[in-house]
Amino acid sequence: ASAISIKGLLKRYKAAGREDILALDRTDIELAEGEFVALVGPSGCGKSTLLKILAGIQPPSEGEALIKGERLTGPRPDVGVVLQSPVLFPWRTILKNVMLPVDVLRLDKRRYRSVALELLKLVQLEGFEGRYPRELSGGMQQRVAIARSLINDPSLLLMDEPFGALDAMTRERMNAELQRIWMERRKTVLLITHSIPEAVFLADRVLVMSPRPGRIIEDIRVDLERPRP
């Protein structure tokens, strides 16, 4: 089965006292396993809406969204998600925030503690494991969310502008790390980005969404022969 299969997906937001907002208009998408796909489009066109539906945290109004051939009923353990603004638990330390999926899925805490510390190193937050989210900048919090999305090695990654709040140098490093993880651990990645150069550099396929109501209007294959980091 495809990693992601979307057919006729439509999302309508009800607005009290105003007209409904049509965010997605019967869009179709197929992602094969192992693809790295970037999703670009104008602000407000429905990209985040699409990602939240695939993450199982928002239901579609109409149409079908399948992950590996299965209908979505909620968040899935094999899908790692990074939302546009990081959602961390303020009462949990950084380490415990990264470990959240381990607790929720009741995995072996001792084993995953070292994985969490390794991921904190990868997102350049070594030494911050005992701190609390409020002690970290927005960009650092976003990197905690990235580490958390990777903790149980999900086969599918959904990322909504994960590097938007980062400075240029950190952003470049994170891009390289993401590409390395994708190659080494054979993941399927759907990445929303504002940056066309970033999309073309990272992805092997770029999907372009129309202005709202969003639907995929272009599906571009990027040359796979170019060198990879």
- Footprint of ligand ADP (CB under 6 A): 13, 15, 21, 23, 41, 43-49, 91-92, 96, 100, 103-104, 212
Nearest in space to 47 (alpha carbons), one of 210, 200, 157: 210
Of 187 and 212, which CB lies nearer to ligand ADP in the complex structure?
212
Of 96 and 171, which CB lies nearer to ligand ADP in the complex structure?
96
How many CA atoms does the CB half-sphere of 167 hold within 13 Å? 5
Is residue 39 within 8 A of residue 203, CB to CB? The reply is no
Of 124 and 210, which CB lies nearer to ligand ADP in the complex structure?
210
Q: To the nearest whole angstrom, how small is the minimum distance from the Cβ of residue 229 to ligand ADP?
A: 27
Q: To the nearest whole angstrom, how small is the minimum distance from the Cβ of residue 103 to ligand ADP?
A: 6
Is residue 215 within 8 A of residue 209, CB to CB? The reply is yes
Q: To the nearest whole angstrom, how small is the minimum distance from the Cβ of residue 66 to ligand ADP?
A: 20
Q: To the nearest whole angstrom, how small is the minimum distance from the Cβ of residue 58 to ligand ADP?
A: 8
Of 171 and 194, which CB lies nearer to ligand ADP in the complex structure?
194
Q: To the nearest whole angstrom, how small is the minimum distance from the Cβ of residue 18 to ligand ADP?
A: 10
User: In the chain, how many H helices and how many E strands?
Assistant: 7, 10
Of 45 and 207, which CB lies nearer to ligand ADP in the complex structure?
45
Of 15 and 224, which CB lies nearer to ligand ADP in the complex structure?
15
> Which residues are paired to 160 by β-bridges?
192
Nearest in space to 117 (alpha carbons), one of 147, 160, 88: 147
Residue 49, both tokens:
């809406």
**Where does residue 126 rank: exposed (0-12), middle (13-18), buried (19+ CB within 10 A)?**
exposed
Is residue 215 within 8 A of residue 26, CB to CB? The reply is yes
- The C-alpha atoms of residue 25 and residue 60 are separated, in whole angstroms, by 11
Q: To the nearest whole angstrom, how small is the minimum distance from the Cβ of residue 75 to ligand ADP?
A: 10
